Chains A and B, each alone.
Chain A
Amino acid sequence: MPEQIYWENIEVGVEIKPLAKVSTTQMLVKWAGASGDFNPLHYDTAFAESVGVGKPIVHGALKRQWLIQLVTNWMGERGTLEKFSCQYRAMDYPRQMKTMTAPQEGETWWCKGEVTKKYTEGNQHFVDCNIRVENGKGEVTTSGRATVIIPTKS
């Protein structure tokens, strides 16, 4: 785990350390098995065409989980995720596999965010963030918000 972040050191506008992700057809298979989402929309080209998305798309819930990883990594072990939301705004298409384990050249996605608010309620210290997934062209395909409790130094 990265070093613990403290409330005193956070300012509004501060960037959350970005997280790079490469979605591959293999990753989508793993996600399907681990999440129980077996919709052929995510692995069958003819089906994806027939329902009007062109070709298999990355699961929204996988992008959600990338953003949860972005926030939980940043807040550290003593931070607590209280609220999280995201909306899927555009389709993403996975890279295909070049070898058994390595993807072909292509797009890299970046999970990013920044602090929008810092406040206390009772004796708890909260931080609100805006978060997003950007595709290889820098377009936002998923956006959302998170509220976390951050520990204080004292």
Chain B
Amino acid sequence: MLPEEIKNLIGRSTPTKTCEVEKGAIRRFANAVDDPNPLYCDEVYAQKSRYGSIIAPPGFFGWPKEQDRNSAITIDTPPALITALEQAGYPLSSVVDGGIEYEFFLPIRAGDVLTAKTTVLNIRERAGSSMNLVFIILETVYANQNSSRVATAQVTAIFRSINPQEKERTNA
């Protein structure tokens, strides 16, 4: 059973992040996927397209200005939730990505400055065969510099209770 203090964090939001969408970062992102779409990298081509400028691939929301230098993951969660999960036997190091749901409303262009705010939508625990799992649903709303909503993302982060016996078995 998850402690009540964890369940109480449903509805909690993170501080708003500002993300700059730079064309170099777009290019690097598209290159990492090996997606040669000229809308992401060819300025002349993109200008003649219906977008009129370089756009970001769906799934890229720029680079946060307030990037935490010590952060190893991209999911944004209230720090209180991470601490509480750790105490309940679900360390951050156990996290795996479960999946995502996007809704796209407007194109994101090179030069846009986005704001991103993440809210904890749901937390539920499930007993597995070798370990327990906690599913955290986080919703991020992205808006551009004109305060228009550009996209929403719902991420499922799965925290696992990696018990000591399990660890030993894996290391053996």
Contacts and interface: CB of A to CB of B under 8 A. Distances in A.
A88 B35 CA distance: 21
Tell me the dominant secondary structure on chain B's binding face.
mixed
A82 B104 contact: yes
B169 to A, nearest CB: 9
B34 interface: yes
Report the contact-size class of chain A (Cβ under 8 Å from the partner): 35 or more
Contact of A78 (B50, B67, B170): B50
A73 interface: yes
Nearest to A37: B74
Interface string A31-54: 101111111110000010111111
B170 A54 contact: yes
Nearest to A77: B49
Given A36-B71, A69-B57, A88-B99, 9 more contacts: A34-B31, A37-B72, A53-B96, A60-B99, A68-B57, A72-B37, A72-B57, A84-B58, A87-B156
A80 B166 CA distance: 46
A52 B35 contact: no
A62 interface: yes
Contact of A65 (B33, B71, B162): B33
B171 interface: yes
Given A52-B162, A87-B98, A35 B50 contact: no
Interface string B43-71: 00000011000000111000110010001
B100 interface: yes
Contacts of A38: 71-73
A152 interface: no
Contacts of A50: 93, 167, 170-171
